């Protein structure tokens, strides 16, 4: 068997043991075909919300928290401070909900596209999946990474902002 493979490999100009592009790869046993989601093409806005929804939520929470901390300091001579602890916590909770929704969208897109299979092997055989499925899978993985980081920052921002004392020099 091994001699026949070496002879066939020698005749085709490739090294013995190297795949010839026509034989199924080892991943085909796990994911035997192209994506099980033919025609899966969510709206562009949904895809981009899944990618960057948490980051935009963090930006909104951060800007609102910074503006609120500036507003908390009394103007000179008035002696009136604006209490914002509850507002900062509510804004952070809202941002966390948006980030969790973006994570849910990313998970949904990933679960619909994760069985893309052996993309390189399918391309060699000419059985590649349609391009949007691969792109959506990649963007869903980016969204999972970015949104979890944004959620962690939103939680830290929501916990830290009300605890810090405002209106004092560093």
Q: Is 56 a member of any domain?
A: yes
Q: Is 50 a member of any domain?
A: yes
Q: Is 38 a member of any domain?
A: no
Query: CA torsion angle for 145, 138, 102, 91 (degrees, to 10)?
Result: 50
What's the pLDDT band for 7 if we cut at 50, 70, 90?
low
Q: Is 108 a member of any domain?
A: yes
Rg over CA atoms, the chain: 26
| Residue 149, phi-psi category: left (phi > 0), alpha (psi -120 to 50), beta (remainder) | alpha
- In whole angstroms, what is the distance from residue 127 CA to residue 67 CA? 54
CA distances from 32 to 40, 121, 168 (A): 19, 11, 64
Q: Is 149 a member of any domain?
A: yes
Q: Which domain holds residue 86?
A: 46-170
pTM for the whole structure? 0.66
User: Looking at residue 49, what DSSP letter applies?
Assistant: H
Specify the number of domains making up the chain: 1
pLDDT digits (tens, 9 = 90+) for 99-153: 999 999 999 999 888 765 555 566 566 666 556 777 888 899 999 999 999 999 9
Give the Cβ contact number of residue 62 at 10 Å: 17
């Amino acid at each position: 068997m091994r001699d026949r493979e070496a002879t066939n490999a020698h005749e085709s100009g490739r090294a013995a043991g190297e795949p010839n592009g026509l034989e199924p790869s080892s991943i085909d046993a796990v994911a035997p075909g192209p994506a099980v989601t033919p025609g899966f093409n969510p709206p562009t806005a949904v895809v981009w919300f899944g990618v960057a929804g948490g980051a935009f939520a963090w930006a909104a929470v951060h800007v609102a928290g910074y503006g609120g901390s500036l507003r908390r300091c009394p103007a000179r001579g008035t002696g009136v401070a604006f209490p914002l602890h509850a507002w900062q916590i509510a804004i952070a909770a809202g941002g966390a909900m948006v980030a969790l929704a973006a994570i849910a969208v990313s998970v949904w897109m990933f679960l619909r596209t994760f069985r893309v299979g052996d993309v390189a092997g399918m391309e060699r055989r000419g059985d590649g999946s349609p391009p949007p499925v691969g792109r959506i899978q990649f963007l869903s993985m980016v969204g999972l990474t970015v949104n979890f980081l944004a959620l962690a920052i939103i939680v830290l921002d929501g916990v830290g902002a009300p605890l810090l004392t405002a209106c004092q020099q560093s």
